[in-house]
Structure 1
């Protein structure tokens, strides 16, 4: 991954979370946090 691609991905991710916070109100950070916890528990099961 080049620096240009990495910077673009960070910018898009930041823009999405900022738009969610300011206008959309979807609760994306909470949703993603819960899914991350489920994924970690799934991985712990297969350990």
Structure 2
């Protein structure tokens, strides 16, 4: 993956998150963030 493609993918992800916050609010992102950190802790345990 070259730098140009990585930048475009990053911008696309940020735009999708911004659109999601604008349409639905940020409450569910906090929930998903907490679940993501729980998943990271679980994966670190099994590593």
What TM-score results when the alignment is normalised by the length of structure 2? 0.63
Worse overlay, 32-41 or 10-19:
32-41
Count of aligned residue pairs for this structure pair? 47
**Where does 1:20-39 land on structure 2 (aligned, <5 Å)?**
20-25=20-25, 27-39=27-39
* Structure-2 separation of matches of 1:11 and 1:26: 19
Over 3 Å off, 4+ runs: none
Structure with bigger helix share is 2
* Unpaired stretches in structure 1, ≥5 consecutive residues: none
Higher relative contact order (CA 8 A, sep 6+): 1
CA distance in 2, matches of 1:36, 1:16: 18
State the superposition RMSD in angstroms: 2.1
TM-score with structure 1 length normalisation? 0.63
Any gaps of 5 or more consecutive residues in structure 2? none
